[in-house]
Amino acid sequence: MRQRFFWLVLVLVLPWLVACGAGTPTGSEPTTDASGGEAAIPDDGVDRARLSRELYFYNWSDYINPEILTQFEEEYGVRVIVDIFDSNEDMIAKIRAGNSGYDVVAPSDYAVQIMALDDLVAPLDQALVPNMQYLDPGLLNKYFDPDNAISLPYLYGLTGIAYNRTFFPEGITSWSVLFDSAQLPAFRGRFSMLDDERETPGAVLKYLGASINATDPAILQQVEAILIAQKPFLASYNSSDVNRRLSSEEFILAHAWSGAAMQARTGLGDEFSGNANIEFVIPDEGGAIWMDNLVILRESPNAYTAHVFINFLLRPDVAAANADYVGYLTPNEAAIPLLSQEVRDLYAAGFAPDDAMLERLEWIERNEDTVVFTELWTRVKGQ
């Protein structure tokens, strides 16, 4: 009688146990690998039950390797949707308006400071970002976020001059090539300046021998006059696709970020092919150094997933794949040995700073005095 009862219970209960996943440890539900067998979820400390299905990343153009987004989705089941901005000012205006829909944003150094003052960003839980251990200590604790309480480095770069050596066989050593009105007629309509209220006046300030953060009214009058005199010869203010235009030789000269110049040189995946004649230089008068950072918006409903995404981007293999693709400088020390030889060779050829170059570079800072650049830029573009 007892045996018949045991078998009756087993027949009734076993299907229910199978349906409920009996025998599988909690939080370790098996997945299927490429061969159709069971593949264990990696023990990376991520609580997958807390992940959102989608994450919205507000980023600069041509500034992330699409393959690593696919990799993130494969590893975590989260689809990352990328939207593009062309300037920190445009980005901040959209975030300030509220209900942007974004989770993670990549503001530049001074823009982090502005967003913090406006209470637009959430504090980082550094315990959820263990891969920050791989970041160069020299790029942490910067003026805009001294304790990295709200931001972590994503990529950094330089601002100088990209040029086609076919048209400038002697090379370029000075900002005068862009600001001396006697030189400009030779390449009218074939060069561009960044569409940026701090970078472009800042380049003129360096040309004049001043600090990139100088706000003296007399010198800013000179800056404004030089930029207005330049406009008839300028193809455009361009921060979005100068890489493509240099590569195609529509532009032969450009005020450019180092990574955009490298993209023009090497190409960008399947997007466009490179041009081996493109060079990049920091003029003798100096240039800018800057860093774009990863922040989580205070309005984001997906803060946990955002932390997981940031930690993923800081993984050395992922950071190397990203830097190889976008051509900008990785702040990840452990990623540098993983870069392709081509990229490391271009770093050594001037697309990355050596000690001597670093002495000629300045960080752009933002304070109550620098609001004058917004006014200056409005007047210049209104001419």
Residue range 331-344, pLDDT digits in tens? 999 999 999 999 99
Is residue 56 over pLDDT 70?
yes
CB-count burial class (<10 Å; 0-12, 13-18, 19+) for 333: middle
Q: Which residue in 154, 151, 155 sits closest to 116, CA to CA?
A: 151
Task: Give me 158's structure tokens.
Answer: 């330089």
- The whole-angstrom separation of Cα 339 and Cα 322 is 9
Orientation angle between helical segments 372-382 and 217-230, nearest 10 degrees? 30
Instruction: Determine the pLDDT at residue 367.
Output: 86
Higher pLDDT, 47 or 33: 47
Instruction: Determine the pLDDT at residue 42.
Output: 64
- The whole-angstrom separation of Cα 296 and Cα 311 is 12
Is residue 156 over pLDDT 60?
yes
Q: How does residue 44 score in pLDDT terms, banded at 50, 70 and 90?
A: confident
Higher pLDDT, 155 or 41: 155
Cα 306 → chain centroid: 16
Task: Express each pLDDT in 157-193 by its tens digit.
Answer: 999 999 999 999 999 999 999 999 999 999 999 999 9
Cα 260 → chain centroid: 11
Is residue 119 over pLDDT 60?
yes
For range 16-34, the mean pLDDT = 37
Is residue 298 over pLDDT 90?
yes
Question: Taking the model in full, what pTM does it have?
Answer: 0.84
Is residue 355 over pLDDT 60?
yes
- The whole-angstrom separation of Cα 171 and Cα 163 is 8
Is residue 25 over pLDDT 80?
no
